[in-house]
Structure 1
């Protein structure tokens, strides 16, 4: 008697779940007199009701916001100016001259969308790379940004010597 082996192939279905992460890239752009902070949603998630706190206190260049003609800054000044209606200061309509911190609220940031604001930033070093009026990437290094999402998830990033940082949330 001969034996016949029959081999059955059973298809296996593997389900892969994709986890979507939200991330925000932040960069400082030196451009006298209006320096620029650009926040870009680099994910596929829409982000709403974001609060961002920028703190220059630990920056290598001992940076400050120069918002008035008199005070701590040098020569040229520029008050806070939103790049679009999507950004507003959380504590009033201005940043104090010589301040090292500011806080903004972003109403909505679509996937792959950027928003920005301008303000003058000066260093307070006795000798600096480009003079006190202009800020190099290495001078903003170690400044921080803390972003809180609408679900109260908070991440903190530190600017590198190119004036950039990226914050990645675990979910949208």
Structure 2
């Protein structure tokens, strides 16, 4: 019995997931602003990049009225702990620097994210986990090491070094 349990743990990666202390980024769909919440993890971080190009929903950042997105738009806004740059309307990649990306810390930012599917789960103005899946979060540590994670269908990207 215990051998079957160990085999199950190894095959499913349950041990790795339980021991992962790497950085993570969670996407939270909300109106009118969508939110990204960063947990720094066990090592200091300089910044994080969100790359939507691999997303199942063909997602974009909707930052300007009358642009690529649908109806509501919102530019990038610091919600605690980031230094952000201007994000072009319709962009698929954004990078934010952390003011204090110390191990164990957190940061957050908001922006509008829309999908470009003809028939999307909740309409193009709202993004589901299935549409975010496949997008990437790229974390840069204070030592310059790059850690990459892919968003899952629960809107979470976690790098397990």
| TM-score class normalised by the smaller sequence | 0.7 to 0.9
Tell me which residue corresponds to 1:145.
137
**TM-score scaled by structure 2?**
0.82
Q: Distance in 1 between matches of 2:103 and 2:55?
A: 30
Matched, 1:67 2:63: yes
**Structure richer in helix, relative to its length:** 2
The structure with more radius of gyration? 1
Count the aligned residue pairs: 142
**Native 8 Å contact 1:26 1:166 kept in 2:** yes
State the 1:41 CA deviation.
Answer: 2.4
State the 1:22 CA deviation.
Answer: 5.3
Q: Which runs of 5+ in 1 are unaligned?
A: 1-20
What is the root-mean-square deviation of aligned Cα atoms in Å? 1.6
Counting only pairs closer than 5 Å after superposition, residues 73-92 of structure 1 correspond to structure 2 as 73-84=69-80, 86-89=81-84
Tell me which residue corresponds to 2:31.
32
1:129 is aligned, of 121, 139, 143, to 121
User: Deviation above 6 Å: which 4+ runs of structure 1?
Assistant: none
**Native 8 Å contact 1:22 1:41 kept in 2:** no
Q: Distance in 1 between matches of 2:41 and 2:93?
A: 25
Tell me which residue corresponds to 1:105.
97
Q: Distance in 1 between matches of 2:153 and 2:21?
A: 24
